[in-house]
């Protein structure tokens, strides 16, 4: 006896108001009596407080309740018998826009389904479950599969999205933390341009030029951070964590040469930037310049925190949109 859920789309991506289509496949060796087959589609936002920002105790006790975005049930078969063999039951389930029914605490009514997102402290997930309900004392058969919600593109005009970019420059003076003296005195200057608003389906583009650097460069990376904030009582607990790091320069690159920045945004780990009262999801880019270890050898023994001093960085907020 096995039950299986097959969605019509291989990539399981649905854009409301798409209709969720698929088949329930029940394989059984002998006759199976049941009291109905029911489909349930559930969308939840699960929030979690990070221990670091609110403290261990609070993190344990002050759990934030999940917010339900969607909950639909559909009986696809009344009670009956299933003969031995393979039974395929097709189904259609419309995904409705909540239309103001769901209220996020401290926020405005939600008018759209949030996109699927898998993060560290915030998770937005949609699950489809099929249950074959069986009699008393008998465990019901069930299968669950995740489906992915993406908002329909087109809310923003494409032309509005693309051109927003920002020029940045990184020098020894823009750094808030202490740098190794040799780096600070030698000086460096890295300039560039990077998109600050980016469509999720397009690569993130930009360019970067090492104009000068007295100390050889070890590596330049562009890191993508998620900044997740969850309301905890009267304040927001904000935590940022790295999603992806992309190296764009390996070693002491030529000065004055334009290095392209080209980052493919990872799916599921990114979604349109959003803020909804109880939580918000933002993204950030960080350009990290690491200087060559050759100089650091002498310092590391003396100073264990020197590693930070080898790094210069610049953070740039990033607005992700579905376009």
Partner 1 sequence: MQIRVRQYEQEAASLALRGKPTTQNPLKSSVTNVEKVSPLSGRINADKGFAGVHQLTKSRTFGSFEDEEKNEKASEDPLEVTFEDPLGVLSSQDSLPTEDTVKYIPRLSRRITKGASDERAEAAAAEWDAYKLSIMQRFTSTGTITVSATFDILSKEPKVRGRSVSAAHLEELENPEKEAREETKIISQQEYVTRLKELNEEISQAWINSERVAALRLSIKVARLLSDTSVPQFYPTLFVLVTDVMDTVGNLVWNRIKKKAECDEDGKLISPLPVNFTAEDVRQEAKDTCFNWFYKIGSIRELLPRIYLELAIVRCMLFLEKDPPISTFQRVTQMMRGLSDPLASAYAHLYLARRSRATMPLESSSSGALHNFAALINSLELPLPSSMPQNPRVYLISGLKDYLILFQRLLAGDFDSRLTKAGADRRLSIILIEPVFEWIMQCLFKQANEKEMAYFLEVFGEVQEDDISVDAPSPGFIAPVSVVVHHLLKNLPATYVGNHALDISKIVKSSIDLSMPQYMNYRLLGLKLCECSPPREFRLTVLNDVWRVVMKYTNLGEYISVADVFVEYILQNCTEAEILIILRDIMRHVKKGEVNDGVLASLESIVFKLVTHYTDLSHVLQLDHFVDILDVFYGDTRISVYKRILSSISRSNKQVRDPVTRHAVFEAARVLHDSLDSLSSDDDRRQITRLIVRYVQLVDFDRDLEQHLAFLVDCRGTFADMDPLRVTVIHASNRLAMTTLKMVKGSHNKRTRDFVKACVTFNEITIPSINSLVTRINLFLETAEVALMNALPSHAESAVKSTLSSLQDVTSKDDVKAGDLEGISMFLVKLSAFLVVMPGHPEHGGFYIVKGLLNVLEMQPWLTPGRRRIQVLSGVLAMLAALAQERLPYHIQNSQVDSNDGMFFGDDSYHEELESLTEILVENITAAANDGADSAQQGLQALDACTALLQVFDANRVGEMCMTLLKKATTSITRNDPYLLSTRQLCQQRGVQLTNV
Of 161, 120, 150, the residue nearest 318 (C-alpha): 161
314 neighbors 170 (Cβ within 8 angstroms): yes
- Contact segment (CB under 8 A) with partner 1 among 20-28, 87-95, 117-125, 291-299 equals 291-299
Q: Is the dihedral of CA 168, 172, 176, 177 positive or negative?
A: positive
Q: Which is nearer to partner 1, 125 or 296 (CB)?
A: 296
Considering only residues 219, 238, 240, 315, which one is a binding residue for partner 1 as defined by CB under 8 A? 219
Nearer to partner 1, 4 or 252 (CB): 252
Separation in Å, CA 218 to CA 175, 185, 187, 259, 312: 18, 18, 15, 15, 12
Q: CA 261 to CA 316: how far, in whole Å?
A: 14
Of 79 and 214, CB closest to partner 1? 214
CA dihedral over 135, 136, 137, 140, signed as positive or negative: positive
Chain mean position to CA 202: 16
Q: Which stretch binds partner 1 (CB under 8 A): 78-86, 97-105, 121-129, 215-223?
A: 215-223
Region binding partner 1 by CB under 8 A among candidate stretches 77-85, 95-103, 130-138, 218-226: 218-226
Q: Which is nearer to partner 1, 85 or 203 (CB)?
A: 203
State which H helix or E strand residue 197 sits in: strand 197-199
* In the complex, least distance from residue 190 CB atom to partner 1, rounded to whole angstroms: 13
Per CB under 8 A, does 250 bind partner 1?
Answer: yes
Backbone angles phi, psi at 182, to 5 degrees: -65, -30
Question: Is the Cβ of residue 29 or residue 260 nearer to partner 1 in the bound state?
Answer: 260
Rule CB under 8 A: say whether 221 interacts with partner 1: yes
Q: Does 11 bind partner 1 (CB under 8 A)?
A: yes
- Taking CB under 8 A as the binding criterion, the range among 51-59, 60-68, 213-221, 315-323 that sits at the site for partner 1 is 213-221
From residue 23, how far is each of 13, 188, 272, 285 by CA, in Å?
16, 61, 31, 42
Q: Which of residues 164-193 bind partner 1 (CB under 8 A)?
A: none
Q: Which is nearer to partner 1, 154 or 266 (CB)?
A: 266
The answer, yes or no, to whether the previous bond of 177 is cis (omega within 30 of 0) is: no
Check binding of 258 to partner 1 (CB under 8 A). yes
Residue 223 within binding range of partner 1, rule CB under 8 A = yes
Residue 242 touches partner 1, criterion: CB under 8 A: yes
CA dihedral 100, 317, 204, 224 (to 10 degrees): -100
Q: Quick one: which segment of 33-41, 106-114, 187-195, 254-262 binds partner 1 (CB under 8 A)?
A: 254-262
- Read out DSSP for 228-257? EEEEETTEEEEEEEEEEEEEEEESSPPTTP
Q: Applying CB under 8 A, which residues contact partner 1?
A: 10-11, 203, 211, 217-221, 223, 242, 244-260, 262-264, 266-267, 290, 293, 296-297, 300, 306-307, 310-311
């Amino acid at each position: 006896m096995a039950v299986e859920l097959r969605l019509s789309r291989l990539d399981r991506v649905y854009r409301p108001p798409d209709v969720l289509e698929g088949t329930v496949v029940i394989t059984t060796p002998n006759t199976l009596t049941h009291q109905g087959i029911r489909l349930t589609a559930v969308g939840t936002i699960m929030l979690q407080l990070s221990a670091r920002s609110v403290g261990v105790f609070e993190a344990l006790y002050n759990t934030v309740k999940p917010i339900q975005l969607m909950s639909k049930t559909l009986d696809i078969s009344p009670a009956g018998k299933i003969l031995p063999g393979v039974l395929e039951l097709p189904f259609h389930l419309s995904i409705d826009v909540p239309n103001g029914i769901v209220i996020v605490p401290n926020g405005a009514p939600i008018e759209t389904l949030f996109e699927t997102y898998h993060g560290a402290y915030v998770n937005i997930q949609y699950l489809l479950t099929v249950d074959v309900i069986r009699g008393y004392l008998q465990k019901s058969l069930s299968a669950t599969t995740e489906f992915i919600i993406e908002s329909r593109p087109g809310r923003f005009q494409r032309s509005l999205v693309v051109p927003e970019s920002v020029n940045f420059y990184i020098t020894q003076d823009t750094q808030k933390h202490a740098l190794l003296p040799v780096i600070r005195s030698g000086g460096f200057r890295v300039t560039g341009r990077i998109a600050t608003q980016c469509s999720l389906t397009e690569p993130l583009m930009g360019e970067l030029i090492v104009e000068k650097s007295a100390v050889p460069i070890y590596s330049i990376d562009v890191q993508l951070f998620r900044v997740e904030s969850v309301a905890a009582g009267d304040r927001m607990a904000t935590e940022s964590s790295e999603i992806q790091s992309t190296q764009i320069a390996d070693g002491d690159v030529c000065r004055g040469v334009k290095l392209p920045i080209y980052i493919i945004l990872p799916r599921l780990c990114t979604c349109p930037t959003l803020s909804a009262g109880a939580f918000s999801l933002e993204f950030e880019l960080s350009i990290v310049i690491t200087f060559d270890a050759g100089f650091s050898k002498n310092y590391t023994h003396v100073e264990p925190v020197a590693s930070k001093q080898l790094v210069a960085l610049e953070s740039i907020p990033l607005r992700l949109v579905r376009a």
